[in-house]
Amino acid sequence: MAWTTWLAWWIGVIADPAPASVGSTIELRWHAPASCPSGTEVATRIATRIADGTPVVEASTRSDAIVADLVVAVENDSHVADLVITTTSGRTIRRLEAADCETVTDAAVLIVAMVHAQSQSAPREDPVVPAPAPAVAPPPKPAAAAPRPAPVPAPARKKTPVVRGSAFAELAVGFAGLPGVGPGLGGGLALLRGMLRVELLGRFWFARDADIGVATQDARVDVRLWTVGAHAGPVLRAGPVEIALLVGGHAGLAHGRGDDLPIVRSARRPWVSLGAYPALLWPLHPRVALGLRGTVEGVAYRPRFTVREGGRAVVASPVTGALAAVVEVRFP
């Protein structure tokens, strides 16, 4: 039987030449959901990209084989792949993530091809038989993969209230204070910051007349009023409507001019008042608002008009009020 043993040895040499003449082998260990390409298809893609005749198999006993372990799992609607490539010179570990499995697979194929190219270009030493690699436990199934801990949200920053400006105009009707009832005009500027509103405004009240002097005469006095004031207070909101609860004061001059007097005369008297100025504003647009404003004031310094010849005097009442329609234009 010696000749048969010799013949089997000779056939084996012809069928399985030395490893150095064939080159390295790529062993692919592929674990992925059914929605991903199969292991055979991935091996074909690697072989196509390398295109140098290196065999790509799913199992190998070659000591110089490049082992590519690739596990694909679905996490948070994304495909995550853990890729471990082991060569005779070391180990390469990569974690890949994409919305679909095709993108993850293509990236893994490219990395395996790059590692293979580096191993082929590295200088080769005399072949050394390495110790057998320790058995690698099969990776867990994708469904059993532990979820990654949720990221800890950064502490929320405090919002700084935005400061906005506005310009407004008023058309008002005033009563008490000056004699009778009469119209007036007003306007000013406001600053809006969060729930705070601050205003500077001026008002002009048209002349109102009253009897003055001796009762037997028809003498009268016309009184006009100019004031400048400041208001401030909180702004409450009920849906789109803004309710401003403002307080403040006004100072100015009352100008009286006599009519049907023996000598026509005029006089100016100071005016000081303090009070409340509630307003109701409805923003029709981020930059335009319409509204109503009320005024209830106590007159701290009351102007007084009289004539030297005696008779009736005209004195401002201690309480005055007004109702005004407001148009406001707001700046960004």
Amino acid at 307: V
Name beta bridge partners: 196. 193, 234
| Region 163-330: CATH code | 2.40.160.20
pLDDT at 263 exceeding the cut of 50: yes
Long-range contacts of 15-22 (CB under 8 A, 24+ apart): 19/62, 19/63, 19/64, 19/127, 20/127
Going from N- to C-terminal start, the domains of the chain cover: 21-144, 163-330
187 closest CA partner among 200, 163, 171, 168? 168
Is this model's pTM higher than 0.85 or not? no
Dihedral pair phi/psi, residue 145, rounded to 5°: -65, 135
The SS3 of residue 62 is coil
Name beta bridge partners: 167. 189, 329
- Using one digit for the tens of pLDDT, what is the confidence trace for 134-181? 555 566 666 655 667 777 776 666 666 678 899 999 999 998 888 889
Q: Give 203's pLDDT tier (boundaries 50, 70, 90).
A: very high
Tell me how far the alpha carbon of residue 153 is from its chain's centroid.
15
pLDDT at 87 exceeding the cut of 90: no
Mean pLDDT on 56-82: 75
Average pLDDT, the chain: 80
Select the highest-mean-pLDDT range: 59-73, 145-159, 217-231: 217-231
The Cα–Cα gap between 256 and 221 comes to 6
What is the per-residue pLDDT for 89?
77
Mean pLDDT on 184-209: 94
H helices within the chain, ranges in order? 2-15, 39-50, 101-121
The class of domain 21-144 in CATH terms is: alpha beta
Tell me how far the alpha carbon of residue 277 is from its chain's centroid.
35
Q: Give 35's pLDDT tier (boundaries 50, 70, 90).
A: confident
